[in-house]
Amino acid sequence: MPQSDTTRQRFAGAPRLTQLRGTVVPLVTPVDAEHRVCEQSVVRLLDSLRGSVDGYMPALSTGEGWKLSLKQWIDMVHLTVAHADGAPVLAGVEVGGTEQILTRAVLAEALGADAIVVPPPFPVEGRPRPTLVEHFKEIVDESPLPVVVYHENAVSKMELDLAQLREVLSLPGVVGVKESSGDVQFTKELLADEVPVPVFQGWEHQIADVPGVQGFVGPLANLDPRACQAAVTYFSAESQERVNALSEQYQLLADDWYLHVKAELVRRGVITTALPVD
């Protein structure tokens, strides 16, 4: 595809996305007994969230994005788009290598997603790791969709670098950041000067610590989006305490937090099984 056509498509949905605020839910991936994405469960999950969230983020960490087969990933993104009622759908892309990321970006566009969500480069044995800027510049230069940065270092082990992140967030085609560094001071310093795209807090327990963020993306939104919305609207001690209590109740800081979310959704009758995707 000629670069001019790619550029036009990449920026087509950018204004709507750079104005995105509030709670975006990183969806769990419901599967049946054969580990296929369960359409009925996805429909019920989105029905339970409709009107309480501002966007959907399938196939990221809470959706076990790093474990999804290509078919599971396609099915989850497709079903989310089909039942999103026009709300933004930001497709997680947790695969290694720029070529694989761009392949899924093309698929995400074909499936009707509004953007892709991409983590820092993961280390590859025997190969030098690109810088954060190099990684994202190559992706936004070629992706047919806008890019949301999933800024984390728990898995990627990428060193926190404020200057690099600022440069990435200024790249044409980058439309937001899920700031999951877990470092409150880092997030405050990021917001100290004007940021050209919305910053979404990625940790429930830190929402009120950084009241300048424009939104929140976290697993609790699958279960109690209204509590999340109150926390990111008011940044009050009371709303934060409510979020903290719910996070503890549902064990959201456990290593297998997504399974605890699934278990609660099964208890509520929203999804059919609490099985992992594999």
Q: What is the pLDDT along the chain (278 residues), one digit of tens a residue?
A: 344 455 555 556 677 898 999 999 999 999 999 999 999 999 999 999 999 999 999 999 999 999 999 999 999 999 999 999 999 999 999 998 899 999 999 999 999 999 999 999 988 777 888 999 999 999 999 999 999 999 999 889 899 999 999 999 999 999 999 999 999 999 999 999 999 999 999 999 999 999 999 999 999 999 999 999 999 999 999 999 999 999 999 999 999 999 999 999 999 999 999 999 99
Residue 161 within a domain? yes
Q: CB of 87 within 8 A of CB of 69?
A: no
How many angstroms separate the CA atoms of 252 and 246, rounded? 9
Whole-number Å distance between alpha carbons of 122 and 97: 8
Residue 272 domain-assigned (yes or no): no
185: three-class secondary structure by DSSP = helix
* 274 domain-assigned: no
Take residue 138 and report the two structure tokens written for it: 């190559």
The predicted structure's pLDDT at residue 100: 95
Tokens (6 digits) for 160: 């926190």
What distance in Å separates the CA atoms of residue 220 and residue 49, rounded to the nearest whole number? 12
Domain count, the chain: 1
In a domain, 18, yes or no: yes
d(CA 224, CA 23): 11
Residue 50 in domain: yes
Encoded amino acid at 66, one letter: W
Q: Which helix (H) or strand (E) holds 96?
A: none
Domain range holding 42? 3-267
Closest CA to 77 of 113, 110, 28, 24: 113
Element containing residue 124 per DSSP (H, E): none
* CATH number of the domain to which 163 belongs: 3.20.20.70
Residue 169 in domain: yes
Q: And the tokens for 158?
A: 């990428």
31: phi then psi, degrees, rounded to nearest 5: -125, 160
pLDDT of amino acid 9: 56
Do the domain assignments include residue 47? yes
